[in-house]
Amino acid sequence: GENVEQHPSTLSVQEGDSAVIKCTYSDSASNYFPWYKQELGKRPQLIIDIRSNVGEKKDQRIAVTLNKTAKHFSLHITETQPEDSAVYFCAATNEQTGANNLFFGTGTRLTVIP
């Protein structure tokens, strides 16, 4: 099955700086890569996703890049704010299976220091 690795496990940045979280995946058939944000005690919520036919996607201060050849994808958060502090999970799945089974990375705890 798919194996998703995520780094770093913890990340502290000063407010206003950028944060980058990296993930690698093992199954070359995976073609959908969402990122979820989980605030303390809350449910995971989708913040951005990318499909394998696209190399980069942006949504305001958040961007995701995908390198299919190297089988890795990254989350970039610019101009970080204290409310960005949370645990971020990357995930991968193969949409063609018809079952939306997500394989998650182990998470990155991001702390934005005011």
Partner 1 sequence: NAGVTQTPKFQVLKTGQSMTLQCAQDMNHEYMSWYRQDPGMGLRLIHYSVGAGITDQGEVPNGYNVSRSTTEDFPLRLLSAAPSQTSVYFCASSYRRILYEQYFGPGTRLTVT
CA dist 97 and 10 (Å) reads 33
Nearer to partner 1, 18 or 45 (CB): 45
What tokens were used for 55?
A: 């190399």
Residues 75 and 52: their CA atoms lie apart, in Å, by: 15
Tell me: does residue 107 bind partner 1 (CB under 8 A). Answer: yes
Which residue among 14, 60, 98, 114 contacts partner 1 (CB under 8 A)? 98
The DSSP code for 68 is T
Q: Is 89 in the site for partner 1 (CB under 8 A)?
A: yes
Q: Which of 21, 44, 92, 110 binds partner 1 (CB under 8 A)?
A: 44
SS3 call for 103: strand
Helix residue spans in 1-114 (DSSP H) = none
- Copy the structure tokens of residue 29: 């058939």
Taking the complex as a whole, the smallest distance from the CB of residue 41 to partner 1 amounts, in Å, to 9
Q: Which residues pair with 39 in a beta bridge?
A: none
Among 13, 32, 57, 111, binds partner 1 (CB under 8 A): 32
Question: Measured from the CB of residue 67, what is the shortest distance to partner 1 in angstroms?
Answer: 21
CB of 61 to partner 1, least distance (A): 20
